Each structure stands twice: as C-alpha cells, then as structure tokens.
C-alpha cells in the first residue's frame, strides 16, 4: 500500500490593500475549476477572514472587533459559527484534496497571538504542511489606500491625521513566526516590479505552486479603485455630521452611498506632504525590520528625499518678506536714488532721530525721491525741523547734509534750498 502524498495548506493572511479582494473573488468564482485540479477553496464565502476570526477569537474579548455589521454579524452568530467550523473541518479531513487555499486579510490583523495558535492547531493534520503567505505594501501606498478604506468605514480625516494608518509588518507577522516558524512564512513584496508578470493574481498562483493555472475573472467584479479627493471630503463631511448622532452611527451607511461617492469626479485622492512625512517617520523602523527578514531593501524607490520637512517644521527659507523689510531700511538720503513712495511714512522730525541744530537741519531726514515737499509746522517747534517732503524715503539724513543742499535721492539746487529757507522764515514769524 503506497503512502498518501503530503498535502499543503496555503494560508494567505494579507495584508490589507494588496489585491486580496481581487484574488479572493477570482478563487471563489473558479472554485469548480480549482477542484478539478485537486485544490480546495473552502466554501466560506469569497473572503475567509471574518468567518475564521469569529471562529478563533476569544468569546470574552469579542467586543474589541468593533461594531459587527453585515457579514461580521452573520459570522458571529453561534449557528453560523458551527456551520463554518463544519465546512472547514470537512475540507481539512477530505483526503482527496492535495491543496487547500485559505485567504483572509483580517487574519494578520484581528487575531491575537493566542488566537493564531488556536487557529494553527485547528488547521494541523497529519501529513499536512502549512505555508503562510503575506504580501507587504510600501507604507505610503498602504496609508493612502487604507485612509480611503477607513473613511468608508466611518472615520473622519481628522481622526486619520491624528493616527495615520501604517503597515505594522512586525506586529502582524511575529505571531505567525512564533507559532508556524519563520521558515514557513513567505513574505512577498507588493510592487509591480517584483510581482510575477507585474500582476498580483499571477504572483499568487506562483506562490501556491500553480503558475500555469488559468482562471477566469468574474465579469461582475468591480474594480477597487481610488476615490477622488472631492469624494473623500464629501465622505469626511458625512462622517462628521453623523458622529454627532452617535460615535458609531457613521459606520451604518446605506449600501448605495459608497458607489455614489466613488463616482464623484476630480483629481485622485492623495496624502498631504505632512502626512506622508509622518507615515514615513512612523514606519522607518518597521521597514528596516522587514528588510532584515527579507535580506534586501523592500522599497528602495519609495524612500523620501533627504530634507523632507516634518509636520510643524518651518520650511526652508524662513519667513517670507523678511528680506524686503531689511531693504527698506538700507541706504542714506543722498545715495538711495529711489522713489520714496513705497517707503514707510514718518512724520518729519518726530522721534529720537531728530537732532537739534541750525537752520540747515530741516525735517528732510526722510526725503523722498529728491522732491522737497511743502512740509508741516508743528506748534512750538522750530520751523526748520518741520520742513521737508511729505513722502517718507528709504534713507536717513546725517547732520549737516541738508545744509549742503543734499536731500533724498540727489542734490537740491540753490533755488529749492532757498525755498526751504523762506518757508522756515515764515514759520518762525
């Protein structure tokens, strides 16, 4: 009697936003064709994640899974849980299957260490090997895609800015290393340059050792495309309004609202520069850890350029306009040669800059572009100290300069100097 061939279980645990929905729907659509090849895709729905999470999550800690809506609520039902366990055990115990494929991105995220152990013990059978498959996506792409997903789940942009999504490779993988062993966990990089034929489905079929398997895509399968920035803002507004009713009310959206919002046109949603910098900062150690597990840099082309400003830092260049303010105060009256119009106006002779002196010291210390204005005489002050142009110029006039006929941007002729003296005499009388 010949020995039965060894079987293998392929446990695809995600991560989120790495084409998992596409893979699962194609496998579900081709369940009969897979069966012809001796491959079982258990009939637990397209995604096996939530059925298995509720099978192995601790009953006394089930509330941490959050509001159980839709299929989550169905799979938490005791009768449904018993049915799911029977389907899983039947697949594991059937000797005709040479391969069993289980896929659910929730398995890397929602199960804790002891729950991963409970699942692993339930999957083990004599003569059966288990291979864990994990796809790792670079942090910025993951954060942008997951932000949109969490907006759909009822979170607001403010909440997501305060706690941006990060891939957390180490947290998700170490519990599988602990129970299944590092050598049984295959990490694949979700990047077109690294995927087989640049396609995640072709790459996944290669991971389960079926590279030549041809599968049909369901015609009704909608693409999981990005929403526009305008759609994200509309969804954020809706979530903020509904959260005023109840913290969890925003999650209970009508089923028609997501397709409607997804069709809102506009530029593609993108993270802000500040949020990109924050995600990169938070993920730096995690990416380094992943690189050590792989033996190579997983995302060499996505590292931010040096000098990227973190949130709250002042951009390079300092405050705008500071240089212009310094230029306004430069130069002296005789050499500026520029119109005084744009300069800062100052009452002639006012403040500590006024010096006591003879008749030649008019208030022309703030002369404009060489024009001697009519001036104004203040009560009780010597007229000479109030005479000068009406416009403030950019420079200062040193003592004795006015007496030499130099004011503002050039020399003032004898005729203009005489006009000043006559004006001074009128004020004095």
pLDDT (average), residues 285-306: 83
Provide the pLDDT for residue 75: 82
Peptide bond into 283 cis (omega under 30): no
**pLDDT band at residue 201 using 50, 70 and 90 as cut-offs:** very high
Domain boundaries, the chain: 7-222+275-302, 227-268, 364-429
- Identify the weakest region by mean pLDDT among 67-76, 134-143, 300-309, 331-340: 331-340
pLDDT at 232 over 60: yes
Mean pLDDT of the chain: 76
pLDDT at 38 over 90: yes
Across 49-154, the runs of DSSP E, i.e. the strands, are 99-103, 128-136
**pLDDT band at residue 408 using 50, 70 and 90 as cut-offs:** very low
pLDDT at 13 over 80: yes
What's this model's pTM, rounded to 2 decimal places?
0.69
Provide the pLDDT for residue 266: 94
Provide the pLDDT for residue 27: 98
Fold for 7-222+275-302, please state it.
Rossmann fold (3.40.50)
**pLDDT band at residue 355 using 50, 70 and 90 as cut-offs:** very low
Angle at 222 between CA 219 and CA 228, to 5 degrees: 150
**pLDDT band at residue 302 using 50, 70 and 90 as cut-offs:** low
Angle at 331 between CA 416 and CA 384, to 5 degrees: 35
Provide the pLDDT for residue 262: 74
pLDDT (average), residues 131-150: 97
Angle at 25 between CA 232 and CA 192, to 5 degrees: 70
CA-wise closest residue to 50 among 27, 22, 86, 80: 80
Under 8 Å between Cβ of 187 and 134: yes
The residue with greater pLDDT, 239 or 167, is 167
**pLDDT band at residue 253 using 50, 70 and 90 as cut-offs:** low
pLDDT at 250 over 70: no
pLDDT tens digits, 81-114: 999 999 999 999 999 999 999 999 999 999 999 9
* Distance, CA of 93 to CA of 86 (rounded, Å): 10
Under 8 Å between Cβ of 194 and 302: no
pLDDT at 120 over 50: yes
- Residue 343 is given by DSSP the state S
């Amino acid at each position: 009697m010949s020995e039965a061939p060894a079987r293998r279980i392929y446990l695809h645990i995600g991560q989120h936003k790495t084409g998992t929905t596409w893979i699962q729907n194609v496998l579900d659509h081709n369940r009969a064709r897979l069966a012809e090849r001796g491959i079982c895709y258990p009939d637990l729905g397209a995604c096996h994640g939530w059925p298995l999470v509720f099978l192995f999550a601790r009953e006394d800690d089930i509330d941490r899974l959050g509001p159980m809506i839709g299929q989550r609520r169905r799979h938490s039902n005791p009768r449904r849980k018993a049915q799911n366990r029977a389907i899983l055990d039947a697949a594991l115990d059937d000797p005709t299957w040479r391969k069993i494929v289980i896929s659910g991105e929730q398995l890397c995220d929602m199960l804790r260490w002891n729950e991963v152990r409970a699942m692993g013990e339930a999957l083990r059978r004599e003569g059966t090997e288990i291979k864990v498959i994990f796809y790792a996506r670079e942090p910025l792409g993951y954060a942008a895609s997951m932000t949109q997903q969490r907006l759909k789940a009822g979170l607001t942009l403010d909440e997501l800015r305060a706690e941006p999504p990060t891939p957390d490779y180490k947290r998700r993988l170490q519990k599988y290393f602990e129970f299944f062993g590092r050598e049984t966990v295959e990490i694949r990089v979700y990047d077109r340059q690294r995927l087989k034929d640049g396609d995640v489905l072709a790459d996944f079929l290669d991971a389960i050792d079926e590279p030549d398997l041809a599968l049909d895509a369901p015609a009704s399968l909608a693409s999981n495309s990005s929403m526009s920035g305008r759609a994200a803002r509309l969804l954020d507004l809706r979530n903020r309004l509904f959260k005023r009713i109840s913290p969890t009310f925003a999650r209970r959206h009508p089923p028609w609202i997501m397709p409607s919002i997804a069709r809102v046109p506009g530029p593609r949603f993108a993270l802000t520069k500040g949020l990109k910098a924050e995600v990169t900062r938070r993920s730096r150690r995690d990416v380094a850890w992943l690189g050590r597990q792989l033996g190579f840099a997983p995302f060499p082309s996505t590292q931010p350029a040096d000098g990227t400003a973190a949130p709250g830092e002042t951009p390079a260049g300092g405050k705008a306009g500071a240089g212009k303010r310094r230029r306004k105060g430069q130069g002296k009256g005789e050499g500026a040669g520029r119109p005084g119009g744009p300069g800062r106006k100052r009452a002639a002779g006012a403040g500590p800059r006024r010096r006591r002196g003879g008749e030649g010291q008019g208030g022309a210390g703030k002369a404009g572009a060489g024009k001697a204005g009519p001036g104004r005489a203040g009560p009780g002050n010597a007229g000479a100290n109030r005479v000068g142009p009406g416009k403030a110029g950019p420079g200062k006039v040193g003592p004795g300069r006015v007496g030499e006929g130099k004011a503002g941007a050039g020399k003032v002729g004898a005729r203009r100097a005489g006009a000043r003296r006559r004006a001074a005499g009128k004020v004095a009388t």
